[in-house]
Amino acid sequence: MSERCQWSEVNEHEIKYHDTEWGVPEHDDRKLFEFLILEGAQAGLSWDTILKRRENYRKVFDGFDYNKVADYDGAKIEELLQDAGIIRNKLKIRSSVSNAKAFIKVRGEFGSFDNYLRSFLPDGKPIQNSWKSMSDIPAKTELSERISKDMKKRGFNFVGPTIVYAFMQAVGMVNDHVTGCFRYQECRDME
């Protein structure tokens, strides 16, 4: 096996995530909602912090069923704020609920959240970058800024251009594996 992206070599959680999920084009709306919530929760924290809590997030957020999350009331939000297995930030938890509502509206307009996201991509296909090193990879792009602006207009929160770009990387809208990484060509061949 050739090298892997340097960021992933922190521990087994990140290696597994890098080797199996990161950069793989995702089209399932429930998984896209999961990544949207997790990327928002990650703001200001390490991705490893989120990966360690991911299973508990799945449990307490009803398997990331956006229809259920959209119906969370004040009591459910208070319950989540007491759960040490997630990031207990009131703004992030509340944004999960408002994002679920916005997510449902987008699905109604576009048929799926995936259709909405792919409408921003040339021919609906992932952008294939060819970064040589981690230092070449931007934190945000003009496209992530455009998507962020559109999402905010639609009522989403915790979707700044940097969070949106991390989301785009995670769900394979862009292939940001470095060219020497064994996953670069594998993800390039996927759609």
pLDDT at 37: 97
Q: For 120-134, what is the mean pLDDT? A: 95
C-alpha distances out from residue 80 to 14, 23, 48, 65, 73, Å: 25, 29, 20, 15, 11
For 6-188, CATH number out of 1.10.340.30, 1.10.357.20, 3.90.25.10, 3.40.190.10 equals 1.10.340.30
187 labeled part of a ligand binding site: no
> Which residues are annotated as catalytic?
17, 39, 47
For residue 137, pLDDT over 70 is answered with yes
> In the structure, what pLDDT confidence band is assigned to residue 2 with cuts at 50, 70 and 90?
low
pLDDT at 49: 93
The dihedral region occupied by 84, where left means phi > 0, alpha psi between -120 and 50, and beta the remainder, is alpha
Q: For 105-116, what is the mean pLDDT? A: 98
Q: Cβ(172)–Cβ(126) under 8 Å?
A: yes
Q: Cβ(97)–Cβ(36) under 8 Å?
A: no
Q: For 70-95, what is the mean pLDDT? A: 97
H helices of the chain, where?
12-20, 29-42, 47-60, 66-70, 74-81, 90-110, 113-118, 142-153, 161-170, 182-188
5 labeled part of a ligand binding site: yes
Q: For 81-106, what is the mean pLDDT? A: 97
Angle, CA of 26, 28 and 33, to the nearest 5°:
90
For residue 1, pLDDT over 70 is answered with no
pLDDT at 27: 97
Q: For 102-120, what is the mean pLDDT? A: 98
**Domain boundaries of the chain, sorted by first residue:** 6-188
* Percent of the chain clearing pLDDT 70 (strictly above): 99
Mean pLDDT for all residues in the chain:
96
Q: For 50-73, what is the mean pLDDT? A: 97
Question: Could you give the 3-state DSSP secondary structure of residue 175?
Answer: strand
177 labeled part of a ligand binding site: yes
Lowest mean pLDDT among 7-21, 88-102, 147-161: 7-21
